[in-house]
Amino acid sequence: MSLISRDHSVVWHPFTQRGMAGDPLPVVSAKGAWLGLEGGRKILDAISSWWCNTLGHSHPELVQAAEEQLRRLDHVIFASCTHEPAVSLAEAIIRDAPNGYGKVFFSDNGSTACEVAIKLAVQLFANRGERGRSRIVALEGAYHGDTFGAMSAGARGLFSAPFEGLLFHVDRLSTEGSEQDRKRLAELCAQGDVAAFIFEPLVQGAGGMRMYSPEVLDGYLETCRRHGVVTIADEVMTGFGRTGPLFASSRLRVAPDVLCLSKGLTGGTMPLALTVVRDALFEEFVSNDHSRTFFHGHTFTGHPVACAVARRALELTASAECSRDRERIFRSHQQFSERLRGFPNAREVRVCGTILALNVAGSGGTGYSSTSTRGAQRFFLERGVLLRPLGDVLYVMPPYCASNDDLGLAYGAIEEFLRSAR
Ligand SMILES: Cc1ncc(COP(=O)(O)O)c(C=O)c1O
């Protein structure tokens, strides 16, 4: 029996409607920017797997870090035990992250990093005796993950509809930062019950690779700071060089209080996430009173192997060579975006760091349920490229090791698609 038939009989895939989806790709190996399929075909991973594979698949140094750590210490409970890989990763993150963070809380996926950040903010005020202060403010079009808190903070729609009655209320601001938005935020903050403002800095990923200016955020962050609202930068996708610098929030003038990290943290190879906070926030949980404890943790929290890989991945990501690669991809995307001007159905072509995105205009409408890119995934696979449009949005987000030829292959396929979709 083929892998696909065996898969069909036992596997339930994430974000997949079996009644409508084609067969999954049977991937048997991966190296650099390329995936190897059963039968020997190679496909260019132009979306870095699930936006996480920053350094290329099966990077030899990350493989080595994992192997060595697995032999030394495989796993140990992280409540009441500690270990070198976690401590050394936390030290490195605190050193390399902008704006003076002091403590790192470990988990194992991006949703949980955000869930933890929201819970921390709400409990911070409870610890201060302000139990009613639990209102959350987020951006329109946001995505922070699939757990209930993260889902509540994200934009409502197709994904969250069945759970609508269980999601908590969230106040929304636009990414335009209009006078009305700023006034609304000031009014909300003045009510005294806003605990946190959560946002994806510079690029909203699942919302359609929407790029927006740091100045808008700075305006919101200033208001939040004046009112003591905890500000949470969800850098799950934008972190680790995706937008150019190591962290997108280094482009902000007003430093967020909390950073949520995952995906590229391990170069995209192992499940790991961090919620990074200031010492001052941590100190408000330190007490002789048990009820002030942050009671949250998962079995695989602070996994030694993932931490050892992340430690090495951070060094590689911060290296001059990796930063040159990101710059090269950025320039290449910019040149391609100029070429896309010649395509009347390529709208809102945009580039931020190593992300290039465009909206495909057509009769299929806009948004997530648009049909303007229907069949696009198969079209690209036939040309040897893995791309997964988000509704009418096409985007390229390659691992930083993608060569100029690799980029050319993805661009060529996009041009061909746009020509055929006219
Ligand atoms: C900005 C952002 N936050 C949170 C998440 C959730 O991360 P995970 O899928 O690891 O739970 C994602 C996932 O794509 C994301 O892009």
Q: What is the pLDDT tens value at each position of the chain, 422 positions in all?
A: 899 999 999 999 999 999 999 899 999 999 999 999 999 999 999 999 999 999 999 999 999 999 999 999 999 999 999 999 999 999 999 999 988 899 999 999 999 999 999 999 999 999 999 999 999 999 999 999 999 999 999 999 999 999 999 999 999 999 999 999 999 999 999 999 999 999 999 999 999 999 999 999 999 999 999 999 999 999 999 999 999 999 999 999 999 999 999 999 999 999 999 999 999 999 999 999 999 999 999 999 999 999 999 999 999 999 999 999 999 999 999 999 999 999 999 999 999 999 999 999 986 777 767 777 778 999 999 999 999 999 999 999 999 999 999 999 999 999 999 999 87
- State the closest ligand 1 atom to the C-alpha of 206, by its place in the atom list counted from 1: 16
**Can you give the residue ranges of every domain in the chain?**
3-58+320-421, 61-318
**C-alpha span between 206 and 209 (Å, rounded):** 6
Q: What is the pLDDT of residue 233?
A: 98
For residue 234, report the distance from its CA to the centre of ligand 1, in Å. Answer: 9
**C-alpha span between 298 and 193 (Å, rounded):** 29
What does residue 235 show for φ and ψ, rounded to 5 degrees? -100, 30
DSSP label of 381 = H
Domain 61-318 in the same topology as domain 3-58+320-421 = no
CATH class of 3-58+320-421: alpha beta
Residues flanking ligand 1, CB < 6 Å: 51, 109-111, 114, 143-145, 200, 205-206, 234, 236-237, 262
What does residue 248 show for φ and ψ, rounded to 5 degrees? -60, -30
Q: What is the pLDDT of residue 348?
A: 97
For residue 205, report the distance from its CA to the centre of ligand 1, in Å. Answer: 9
Whether 4 contacts 22, CB under 8 Å: no
- H or E element in which residue 9 lies: helix 3-10
CA 189 to chain centroid, in Å, comes to: 27
- State the closest ligand 1 atom to the C-alpha of 150, by its place in the atom list counted from 1: 4
For residue 146, report the distance from its CA to the centre of ligand 1, in Å. Answer: 8
* Burial class of residue 27 (count of CB atoms within 10 Å of its CB; 0-12, 13-18, 19+): middle
Taking each helix axis from N to C terminus, what angle separates 320-340 and 304-318, rounded to the nearest 10 degrees?
70
For residue 145, report the distance from its CA to the centre of ligand 1, in Å. Answer: 5
Q: State how far the alpha carbon of 210 is from the alpha carbons of 197, 200, 352, 378, in Å.
A: 18, 10, 10, 24
For residue 214, report the distance from its CA to the centre of ligand 1, in Å. Answer: 20
DSSP label of 270 = S
Please choose from 262, 388, 393 the residue to mutate so as to test ligand 1's pocket, defined by most ligand atoms within 8 A of CB. 262
- H or E element in which residue 332 lies: helix 320-340
- Considering only CA atoms, give the Rg of the chain: 22
Q: Return the structure tokens found at 79.
A: 């409540």
Nearest CA to ligand 1 atom 8: 110
Whether 297 contacts 79, CB under 8 Å: yes
- State the closest ligand 1 atom to the C-alpha of 145, by its place in the atom list counted from 1: 6
For residue 290, report the distance from its CA to the centre of ligand 1, in Å. Answer: 32
Q: Which residues does residue 352 pair with via DSSP β-bridges, in sequence order?
A: 355
Nearest CA to ligand 1 atom 9: 110
Which is it for strands 273-277 and 258-261: parallel, antiparallel or unpaired? antiparallel
* Residue 376 CB partners (closer than 8 Å, separation 6+): 360, 387, 389, 394, 417
For residue 39, report the distance from its CA to the centre of ligand 1, in Å. Answer: 32
Considering all CA atoms of the chain, what is the largest pairwise distance in Å, rounded to the nearest integer?
67
- State the closest ligand 1 atom to the C-alpha of 235, by its place in the atom list counted from 1: 1
For residue 375, report the distance from its CA to the centre of ligand 1, in Å. Answer: 25
For residue 9, report the distance from its CA to the centre of ligand 1, in Å. Answer: 28
Q: State how far the alpha carbon of 165 is from the alpha carbons of 118, 141, 333, in Å.
A: 19, 19, 42
Q: Return the structure tokens found at 117.
A: 């950040």
**C-alpha span between 133 and 123 (Å, rounded):** 9
For residue 264, report the distance from its CA to the centre of ligand 1, in Å. Answer: 11
CATH number for the domain whose boundaries are 61-318: 3.40.640.10
Which is it for strands 346-352 and 273-277: parallel, antiparallel or unpaired? unpaired
For residue 144, report the distance from its CA to the centre of ligand 1, in Å. Answer: 6
Nearest CA to ligand 1 atom 3: 144
- State the closest ligand 1 atom to the C-alpha of 109, by its place in the atom list counted from 1: 10
Closest listed residue to residue 86, CA positions, set 54, 108, 55: 108
Nearest CA to ligand 1 atom 16: 237
**Which residue has tokens 């969250």?**
160
Nearest CA to ligand 1 atom 4: 144
Q: What is the pLDDT of residue 372?
A: 72
Please choose from 107, 143, 200 the residue to mutate so as to test ligand 1's pocket, defined by most ligand atoms within 8 A of CB. 143
- State the closest ligand 1 atom to the C-alpha of 273, by its place in the atom list counted from 1: 10
Q: Which residues does residue 172 pair with via DSSP β-bridges, in sequence order?
A: 138
pTM across the whole model: 0.97
Please choose from 159, 209, 236 the residue to mutate so as to test ligand 1's pocket, defined by most ligand atoms within 8 A of CB. 236
